Amino acid sequence: MGGFEMASSNKPASLEGYLTDETGKEYTLTTTPSNTILGYVGYGILDYLEAGLNLNVHYDGDAGGTKLKGVGFGDIGLMVKAQLPNQSLKDLFNFAAALEVFIPTGTNEKGVRPRHLWYIHKGDYTNPYSAADFAVAGTLYLSINIHRNLRWNNYAGVLRAFENGENIFTWGSGITLFPYEWVSLVLEASGETKIRTKDVWRGFLNDQLRFSPGLKVRLPKFTTMSINADLGMDLFRKRKISRGHEITVKNKGHEYSYTVPGSPPIAVSIKFNRTFDLGGRIDDFKKKMEACPKSSLSFKDNKYRCAPDSDNDGIADDLDECPDTPAEVLIDESGCPFDRDNDGVPDYKDKCPNTKEGYPVDEFGCIRDNDNDGIPNELDKCPDSEPGEEVNEKGCILDTDEDGVPNVLDSCPSTPAGLKVNQYGCFMDNDKDGVPDEWDKCPDSAPNEIVNMYGCPIDSDEDGIPDFMDKCENTPPGVGVDSVGCRLDFDRDGIFNEDDMCPDTPVDAPVDKTGCPIDSDKDGVVDYLDNCPNTLDHTAVDANGCPIREKLNLDKIARRIQFHKGSEMPLNSSYTALSDVVSIMRHNKQIAIEIQCSVKSGESKEPIELANSRANFIFEFLVNKGVKEDRLKASGYGLQLPMNSHGYAKLNPVGVRLLPYHIKEESSELK
């Protein structure tokens, strides 16, 4: 097996985007290729035993001008893999186990991205191309054939690095669609994680976890080609340094430190797998199998002996239910001639091959039918039918609804029993409401009026407005409605009159379920009059709902936080406002703050990116001042901050916004 893997730009190398040496000097990473050439050779010692050798060659591109760039070998891996022999349920599942030993032969002073988790040693140097340590791994494999077109593949194992005493859990699970076709679709998830007793879930997500969709193409001469994309966890979430692994690499007497993610966000690979049939056993087996007829007898002594087939129809005698079939007659899987209409006369003798099942036939497979109505004489109760008449299964003229009008003349062949019909077989309906006159309790319905089964107008919700005029068909009983059957809401606040405790609310003012204006921050000023709708608890406010003390007014504090044009760095005057935010957070332990940032038009070609950077700067400033991360959220919104949920707050549309909310409440419910 040979292949090539390529990871994306500099992202798999360093979360920070730079390296730092022992003097503190930073080496900035730009686009850094990170490629691997894969190689594996295996030999089938027995039908169920394989031995193999694994050796990869790696290459990392320029690492900020350091000497880490270059080509290097990975560790040699020696593997023995065994499958259960003579497995009776092999058509359902396959089970195998492997033992692999890694010899630390890899290059030690090249590379930026560690190729495996066990190459990363806590408190020691990391060699991106080698574990620098002997390691042994045991792995179990299980494939389940759920359906001919669906296979479920799984593996799980434990790897032990001896010198460093580290244990790594490796696993993978995926499905293969159309495993026997020339193109198969593969969907797999896999990972590597350290075996630990604390932070198990966090380690599982951060060590190495990837999703790998791909295609497998079968080529001639026992060759397959696989094309895969590896999608790491950091592709689906915000990249954070806290999720990375801190490592130190050594090269030419220098040390470089940086933080790498568990797995690259994006990597692609292409692999070719070729099997060489050294003994010719595969081709020999296929030829022998094709030469033998179907048989329940087993092949003995690997000589592929065929069971006898007296009539040479391709079905061995021990399975042939019709051992004397004439030559060149089409047969089914049991060795008998086909009889597609199941009339007891085989197809090669049947002159009427489409006889209805159950009809008696003569020796040529045809029914006897004197009046040619399609009903055999033996079953015909009306043997003198006229040519062209439609008859039932008894051979008599057909009147399906038994209304006295034969089907051939009946325009309404499904008339209910007992109703009077006209000459065309349709029931009488004078007012044309779809209800027969015999059932109609309201025989004078208006045209197009919707009626019930008794022919009377329907008023489903009993509000006095018939359904054909009612635009609100499910009105509750007893409530007042207008001329089209809809409930009354004079002030148009979404609360119907009978439930509205405040029936004169101004238009578009936010109201609660009783129809009264909402005071979200409970400061005594309702939302549609409140210019500061996010006031902190127990804060004195003026008539407009804004804190009397400006140091408690987060909206005004936010307006004082300003940044240098086109930069994420704030003006010096902004640090006073940021300190005021820290003071509020320290004295109000029960609240959290959402930081929202936007930028002015023309400040940046990437306004969302700049807005995110500004929000993250405020986030980091507050964290560094002692505010816990779980009390903060940071978001960038490009050129325009989102509309406030109440619609009345006069908040700054561009710049910085600070929205408080209670920690115990859902984060989306702003206090």
Residue 64 lies in a domain: yes
What CATH number corresponds to the domain at position 95?
A: 2.40.160.40
Residue 517 lies in a domain: no
Mention every residue, 6+ apart, whose C-beta is less than 8 A from residue 84.
Answer: 48, 94, 95, 96
pLDDT bucket at 147, cuts 50 / 70 / 90: confident
294-331 pLDDT per residue, tens: 555 444 333 445 667 777 777 777 777 888 888 778 88
Residue 344 lies in a domain: no
Cα separation, 36 vs 58, in Å, equals 4
Residue 323 lies in a domain: no
250-286 pLDDT per residue, tens: 998 899 999 998 888 899 999 999 988 777 666 665 6
Q: What is the mean pLDDT of the chain?
A: 82
Per-residue DSSP letters for 202-241? HHHHHS-EEEEEEEEEEETTTEEEEEEEEEEGGGSS---G
Residue 537 lies in a domain: yes
What CATH number corresponds to the domain at position 645?
A: 3.30.1330.60
Question: Does residue 511 contact residue 500 with C-beta atoms inside 8 Å?
Answer: no
Give the global pTM.
Answer: 0.47
Residue 644 lies in a domain: yes
450: left (phi over 0), alpha (psi -120 to 50) or beta: beta
Domain's final residue, options 274, 306, 333 = 274
Residue 667 lies in a domain: no
pLDDT bucket at 666, cuts 50 / 70 / 90: very low
Encoded tokens for 304: 């592929």
State the pLDDT at residue 45.
86
Residue 223 lies in a domain: yes
Per-residue pLDDT at 650 exceeds 60: no
State the pLDDT at residue 415.
75
Question: Does residue 223 contact residue 206 with C-beta atoms inside 8 Å?
Answer: no
Question: Does residue 55 contact residue 2 with C-beta atoms inside 8 Å?
Answer: no
Domain's final residue, options 216, 251, 274 = 274
Residue 668 or residue 336, greater confidence:
336
Nearest to 267 by CA among 629, 7, 508: 7
Nearest to 104 by CA among 141, 130, 85: 130
Q: How many domains is the chain built from?
A: 2
Question: Does residue 69 contact residue 98 with C-beta atoms inside 8 Å?
Answer: no
- Count of helix runs (H) and strand runs (E) in the chain: 5, 21
Per-residue pLDDT at 227 exceeds 80: yes
616-631 pLDDT per residue, tens: 999 999 999 999 999 9
Residue 368 or residue 336, greater confidence:
336
What range defines the domain where residue 104 resides? 2-274
Domain's final residue, options 274, 302, 327 = 274
Cα separation, 354 vs 339, in Å, equals 10
64-114 pLDDT per residue, tens: 888 899 999 999 999 999 988 755 565 678 889 999 999 999 999 999 999
